[in-house]
Amino acid sequence: MVEIKLVNLTKRFGNVVAVDHLNLTVKHGELLVLLGPSGCGKTTTLRLIAGLESPDEGEIYFDNTLVNDMSPKDRNVAMVFQDYALYPHMTAYDNIAFPLRNRGYSESNIRRKVLEVAEMLNIKELLNRKPRQLSGGQKQRVALARAIVREPNVFLLDEPLSNLDAKLKTQMRVELRKLQKRLGVTTVYVTHDQAEAMSIGDRIAVMKNGKLLQVGTPEEVYENPKNMFVASFIGSPSMNFIKCIVKLRNGFYVLDCGDFKINISYERGREVDVLEGEEVILGIRPEDITILPERSSNAISASIELIEPLRPDMLIHLRIGNIKIVARSLSTLLWKPDDHVSISFNLRKLHIFRKNGEKIM
């Protein structure tokens, strides 16, 4: 178990900067998720940690040891690939034994260790099969077994669940989480699936265009996103964004969104006072919008465009004048499309961003 420290890590492919001055620490025994859209540099970061790519700038430390020039073998990292990358000409047993054989373990020792991890992952009956005789979930387990068997310093998981079907995916992510906690190995987990990241990570690092945007616990990145990108990337459906202008009215700050206005409390108003008269972007998550049971004159009035009954939740697509937003509601079907309703926003959960996407409050 080691602590991984990335300092100013940079990797370029031709003119493309895949990883841009990345600074990040993965603590002892922690499961850190690298989250971002495809092409954001998360897999490249993983490959840099593994030693499959060498950085153009910056340093990688494992417990204060610089590993930049160390081969993957000497770093003692284990990696699970998105496509599992099992050796097709070897049985599951030989696949799992492969890293041990390369390190010169005795056959009896190898046998003991392979059976031990096979037991742990419930794949004992599959050991004599070739990869082509295994299902996706079974291959996944064999790949995990191969990673676990040699007790690595670091686990690197590159979208390990993305080729599994939805049901198996949720099942495996719970199992993966338990396994990681049990083994206590420092783990870096790459995914583009925010739900997976939220469910599995101790902390989440959100990346875009090779840059690190925010690191924090799932709660932190969800409740307090640093910018619009993080706010929109995390959470499904996405946060609603509404353009509005900061105005001062009767000594209080008001967000004027055109079709409706929102009052901001006095304390929070002080955070936006420098922006008086400027355009800002209001962000509100679907679950922070409440549809009121009765029409009310001082609430915002909206019309329902579409209802997605996902069960138990419902997603309600609303229209306020020209503004379209989505609300999430737990209640049973009270409304129909084209109904006119009153809605209110949870004022404590408002996010306000500058026009450049940076969070103000």
Nearer to other proteins, 164 or 350 (CB): 164
Compute the distance between CA of residue 75 and CA of residue 55 in angstroms, rounded to an integer.
15
Query: 10 with 55: CB under 8 angstroms?
Result: yes
Give min distance, CB of 118 to other proteins, in A: 17
Q: Which residues contact 92 (CB under 8 A, 6 or more apart)?
A: 86, 123, 126, 127, 128, 129, 130, 131, 134, 142, 145
Compute the distance between CA of residue 12 and CA of residue 354 in angstroms, rounded to an integer.
30
Mind giving me the DSSP string for 259-283?
A: S-EEE--HHHHHHHGGGTT-EEEEE
Nearer to other proteins, 146 or 351 (CB): 146
Query: 355 with 361: CB under 8 angstroms?
Result: no
For the chain, first and last CA: distance in Å?
38
Give min distance, CB of 146 to other proteins, in A: 7
Nearer to other proteins, 31 or 143 (CB): 143
Query: 103 with 116: CB under 8 angstroms?
Result: no
Q: What does the binding site for other proteins look like in residue numbers (CB under 8 A)?
A: 47, 50-52, 71-73, 77-79, 81-89, 98-99, 102-103, 130-137, 139-140, 146, 163-164
Give min distance, CB of 357 to other proteins, in A: 35
Give min distance, CB of 40 to other proteins, in A: 19
Nearer to other proteins, 97 or 327 (CB): 97
Nearer to other proteins, 84 or 353 (CB): 84
Give min distance, CB of 272 to other proteins, in A: 49
Backbone angles phi, psi at 132, to 5 degrees: -70, -15
Nearer to other proteins, 134 or 272 (CB): 134
Nearer to other proteins, 132 or 311 (CB): 132
Compute the distance between CA of residue 223 and CA of residue 88 in angstroms, rounded to an integer.
45
Compute the distance between CA of residue 192 and CA of residue 207 in angstroms, rounded to an integer.
10
b/e map 287-307, b = 16+ CB within 10 Å = ebbebeeeeeeebbbbebeeb
What pairing do the DSSP bridges indicate for beta strands 4-13 and 16-26?
Answer: antiparallel
Q: Which residues contact 333 (CB under 8 A, 6 or more apart)?
A: 307, 309, 314
Give min distance, CB of 209 to other proteins, in A: 24
Nearer to other proteins, 89 or 112 (CB): 89
Give min distance, CB of 192 to other proteins, in A: 17
Give min distance, CB of 152 to other proteins, in A: 9
Alpha helices, DSSP H, located in 184-244 = 194-200, 218-223, 228-233
Compute the distance between CA of residue 2 and CA of residue 27 in angstroms, rounded to an integer.
8
Nearer to other proteins, 187 or 227 (CB): 187
Compute the distance between CA of residue 304 and CA of residue 324 in angstroms, rounded to an integer.
10
Give min distance, CB of 53 to other proteins, in A: 10
